[in-house]
Amino acid sequence: MKFLLLILASVLCFLAAIIGAVLLLLLHRKKGSFFDSDGVRIHYTDEGQGEPVILVHGYAVTADQNWRIPGIVRALSKKYRVITMDDRGHGLSDKPRDAGKYGLETVRDVIRLMDHLGIAKAHVAGYSMGGFITLKLAMMYPERLLSAVVGGAGWTLPTDENRVLLDKVVSSMESGRGIRPLAEWLRPVGHKQNRLLEWLVVTFINNTNDLPALGATMRAIDQLEVSEAELRANKVPILTIVGTADPLRNGVDALTGVLANHENLFIQGGDHMTAILGPRFRNGMLDFFAKHSASQSKPA
C-alpha cells in the first residue's frame, strides 16, 4: 500500500511540475516598449531586421501567447523586422472599460504604431480577432500594407445567430462568468473537443484577463465588419489561413470568390486552437510575405 501511495505521489508531483512549467511559459512576457495611441498606452516588441511584419493577436490572449510560444516570432525574425503588439484591453497594454475605446480604435492602433516607428508600409498578420482587425485594416488603409495574412478569421455576416452569440459573450464577460460561451462555440467541427483542455483554457483565460475590458472589446466588435463592395475592390494581397475543423472556416469560405487578390491555405484537421501551432502556418506566412515583398512589387 505504501508503495502505491508513493507512486501516486510521484505521479501527482510530476503532473504538478508539468502544469507549473506550462503556466510559467504562458505567463512569461517579452518586455518591450510602450507608445501612446490616442490616450491608450500600447505595449509592443520590435526585433529582427528586414521588411517590417506586424503581428496582431487574438481575443483574450497576449502577443507572446499567440505569436511567440508557437515559434512564429522566432521564425519570422530570421528574415524580417517583427513587431508584436498587445491589443488594447489585453496583456501589458491599457485596459479601458468603455466600448467606445475599441472597435475601429483597434485598427487605428496598428497605423499609429507604424507612425510611431516611422514605418510607411508593412506586412500585417492577425489571428482570430486579430484576423478581423487585419481584414478591416486592409479595407481602410490599403496604402499602408505590403500584404496581409488573416488567420482563423473570415467574412462574418451580422446574422441573428451571431448577434445572439455576441450578446451571450458580452453578458458573460460583464457578469464575471468569463469566456465559456465563446469557447463552446469555437469547439472543433467534426471531432470531439477535449473537455479537460477546454476547462483548463477557460479557467486560465478567466483568471489572467480583465473581464470587463474584454466585454467592452466584444461589445464594439461589429465595427470590424466589412462590406462586399470593399472586399471586391480590395487591392492588398491577402492570404487566409484556417484549420478545416475551425468553425470560423465558414467565414473563409464566404470570402472565396468575393475578396479580390485573395489566396487560401487550409490546415487539415486544425481547429481554432491548434491550426496556428504547426509549421504549415508559419511557413505559409513566410512564403506569402516573400512573394509580396517590396522588392517584388517594384517595376523591372
The predicted structure's pLDDT at residue 204: 92
CATH, residue 275 = 3.40.50.1820
The CA distances from residue 104 to 6, 117, 141, 210, 219, in Å, are: 57, 20, 12, 20, 12
Q: Give domain status of residue 298, yes or no.
A: no
Asked if 240 and 263 touch (Cβ cutoff 8 Å), the reply is yes
Q: Give domain status of residue 25, yes or no.
A: no
Of the candidate ranges 30-44, 175-189, 267-281, the one whose mean pLDDT is the lowest: 175-189
Contacts of 37 (CB under 8 A, 6+ apart): 88, 105, 108, 109, 112, 113
CA–CA distance, 133 with 47 (Å, rounded to integer) = 22
The predicted structure's pLDDT at residue 160: 80
Q: What is the pLDDT of residues 233-276, one digit of tens each?
A: 999 999 999 999 999 999 999 999 999 999 999 999 999 999 99
Radius of gyration of the chain (CA): 20
Q: Give domain status of residue 233, yes or no.
A: yes
Mean pLDDT of the chain: 90
Q: Which of 188, 219, 218 is nearest to 201 (CA)?
A: 188
The CA distances from residue 167 to 60, 171, 203, in Å, are: 17, 6, 21
CA–CA distance, 217 with 208 (Å, rounded to integer) = 16
Asked if 214 and 99 touch (Cβ cutoff 8 Å), the reply is no
Q: Give domain status of residue 231, yes or no.
A: yes
Tell me whether residue 26 is exposed, middle or buried, using C-beta atoms within 10 angstroms of its C-beta: 0 to 12, 13 to 18, 19 or more. Answer: middle
- Segment 56-81 mean pLDDT: 97
- Segment 51-62 mean pLDDT: 97
- Segment 18-36 mean pLDDT: 70
pLDDT-derived band at 27 (thresholds 50, 70, 90) equals low
Q: What is the pLDDT of residues 88-147, one digit of tens each?
A: 999 999 999 999 999 999 999 999 999 999 999 999 999 999 999 999 999 999 999 999
Contacts of 1 (CB under 8 A, 6+ apart): none
Higher pLDDT, 242 or 299: 242
Whether 4 has a pLDDT exceeding 70, the answer reads no
Q: What is the pLDDT of residues 70-86, one digit of tens each?
A: 999 999 999 999 999 99
Q: Give domain status of residue 87, yes or no.
A: yes
Return the DSSP state at 68: I
Whether 47 has a pLDDT exceeding 80, the answer reads yes
The predicted structure's pLDDT at residue 176: 86
The predicted structure's pLDDT at residue 1: 60
Q: Give domain status of residue 48, yes or no.
A: yes
Helices (H), the chain: 2-27, 63, 72-76, 104-117, 129-140, 160-174, 180-185, 195-207, 211-219, 228-232, 249-255, 279-291, 294-297
Q: Name the 3-class secondary structure at 112.
A: helix
Whether 5 has a pLDDT exceeding 60, the answer reads no
Tell me whether residue 257 is exposed, middle or buried, using C-beta atoms within 10 angstroms of its C-beta: 0 to 12, 13 to 18, 19 or more. Answer: exposed
Domain that holds residue 61: 33-293
Whether 6 has a pLDDT exceeding 50, the answer reads no
CA–CA distance, 24 with 47 (Å, rounded to integer) = 22
The predicted structure's pLDDT at residue 297: 57
The CA distances from residue 293 to 77, 241, 285, in Å, are: 15, 19, 12
pLDDT-derived band at 298 (thresholds 50, 70, 90) equals low
Q: How many domains does the chain have?
A: 1
- Return the C-alpha cell found at 110: 496598428
Q: Give domain status of residue 15, yes or no.
A: no
Asked if 127 and 57 touch (Cβ cutoff 8 Å), the reply is yes
Q: Give domain status of residue 16, yes or no.
A: no
- Segment 158-177 mean pLDDT: 86
Asked if 105 and 219 touch (Cβ cutoff 8 Å), the reply is no
